[in-house]
Amino acid sequence: MALLGGAAVTWPLAARAQQPKLPTVGILGSGFAAWSRLVSALMQRLRELGYIENRTIAIEYRWTEGHDERYAAMAAELVALKVDVIVALGTPAIVAARKATAVISIVFPIASDPVGDGLVASLSRPGGNVTGLSTQQPDLAGKRLEILREIVPGLSRLAVLVNGQNPLAILNVGEVQAAGPKLGLEVNILDVKRADDIAPAIDRLKGHTQAIYTVGDSFVFENQIQINTLALVARLPTMHNGRTYIETGGLVSYGPSFSDLFRRAGDYVDKILKGAKPADLPVEQPTKYDLVINLKTAKAIGLEIPATLLARADEVIE
């Protein structure tokens, strides 16, 4: 009886110890605050596909909290944990994950130019262990400038805020510089490379420009609250490339739906967990574009948004 009793106690413990490891997804990014809403869209899609966190799937989060030098170590941690997929948020995270492993699958929900950045061999056949969704946006600069002209009466002077250390961002500035003169706009470049550069740069704009056009990248995304707050104090309307910026006080955005891209990234994760190889999963393009307007910000800086533009908006934040 004593032997049987001992077996009854120890058997469940041994059984639990032998339970198979849950499929694990590592999420690597700059910070929870910046990415939380978009990661929620990814997790919602995984739930729709039948995954339940801590029951049928495990999630390992790693946030650098704005310290880019931590990416390498955190990517290495995820590799050491033997996660099945790494979802890398932003180019620095993608590059760090790619350097850390050539075996574990890596999915990027958004990447500006995955071929040009050397992340994949081609959009149709990525090769290697990396795939995801591209946000390449040809001809959007002109559309954004046209929207700004509708909002800002007599718009003639525009400042473009860009991270001068990002070569792709510089290319996007070129699109604005090409489109601006066609619409009668004088375009000036506001080059910021560090968070400490933002406040003095925007302060210098007072009286010299009528609006700010941000070229989105990881640096601008991580500092969006500071950018929007300072622009609001300076009473300068802002144009952004995604809805998230409007939630933090930006005036207007037009571009691919980041939430939709993160949802679609969930499909990539699902396929990989079921045996698909990133090399065989083509990089997809945006299919949904959103025009989002923040009426509270418009009121704060004394702008009245035309009714025709409000009617075209996909979302109006009040």
Paired with 61 in beta bridges are 27
Q: Nearest Cα to 227, choosing from 201, 258, 208, 209?
A: 201
**Rg for the chain, CA atoms, rounded:** 23
The reported pTM is: 0.80
Please report which confidence band the pLDDT of residue 4 belongs to, taking 50, 70 and 90 as the band edges. Answer: very low
> Position 273: which residue type?
L
The more confident residue out of 298 and 20 is 298
pLDDT tops 60 at residue 12: no
Q: Which two tokens stand for residue 254?
A: 């037009």
The predicted structure's pLDDT at residue 22? 94
The predicted structure's pLDDT at residue 137? 65
The more confident residue out of 163 and 116 is 163
Largest CA distance in the chain: 93
Q: Which class for 23: exposed (0-12), middle (13-18), buried (19 or more C-beta within 10 A)?
A: middle
Q: Dihedral sign, CA of 51, 52, 56, 60? A: positive
The more confident residue out of 207 and 160 is 160
CA distance 5 to 309: 75
CA distance 248 to 64: 21
Check: CB of residue 161 under 8 Å from CB of residue 212. Answer: yes
Which segments within 141-263 are labelled E, that is strand? Answer: 157-162, 186-191, 211-214, 238-240, 252-256
**Residue-wise pLDDT tens digits, 56-76:** 999 999 999 878 899 999 999
The predicted structure's pLDDT at residue 32? 87
Domain with CATH 3.40.50.2300 in the chain: 2-136+258-280, 140-256+289-317
**Residue-wise pLDDT tens digits, 246-277:** 999 999 999 999 999 999 999 999 999 999 99
The predicted structure's pLDDT at residue 138? 60
What would the mean pLDDT of 109-131 be, rounded to a whole number? Answer: 91
Give φ, ψ of 57 to 5 degrees: -155, 150
CA distance 188 to 156: 11
**Residue-wise pLDDT tens digits, 21-55:** 899 999 999 888 889 989 999 999 999 999 999 99
Residue 191's CB: how many other CB atoms inside 10 A? 15
3-state secondary structure of 29: strand
The more confident residue out of 2 and 281 is 281
**Residue-wise pLDDT tens digits, 71-113:** 999 999 999 999 999 999 988 899 999 999 999 999 999 988 8
Check: CB of residue 237 under 8 Å from CB of residue 211. Answer: yes
- Helix H, strand E, coil C: the string for 257-282 is CHHHHHHHHHHHHHHHHCCCCHHHCC
Q: Nearest Cα to 224, choosing from 245, 204, 197, 196?
A: 245
CA angle 181, 183, 186 (to 5 degrees): 45
Percent of the chain with pLDDT over 90: 73
pLDDT tops 60 at residue 19: no
- Exposure of 246 in the CB half-sphere (CA atoms within 13 A): 26
What would the mean pLDDT of 134-148 be, rounded to a whole number? Answer: 86
CATH classification of 140-256+289-317, choosing from 4.10.520.10, 3.40.50.2300, 3.30.1490.20, 1.10.10.10? Answer: 3.40.50.2300
CA distance 25 to 85: 5
Q: Which two tokens stand for residue 87?
A: 């979802």
The predicted structure's pLDDT at residue 216? 84
Fold (CATH) for 2-136+258-280:
Rossmann fold (3.40.50)
Answer left, alpha or beta for residue 263, where phi above 0 means left and psi between -120 and 50 means alpha: alpha
Q: Which two tokens stand for residue 313?
A: 């908006």
DSSP 155: -
**Residue-wise pLDDT tens digits, 223-244:** 999 999 999 999 999 999 988 8
The predicted structure's pLDDT at residue 20? 67
Residue 247's CB: how many other CB atoms inside 10 A? 16
CA distance 21 to 82: 10
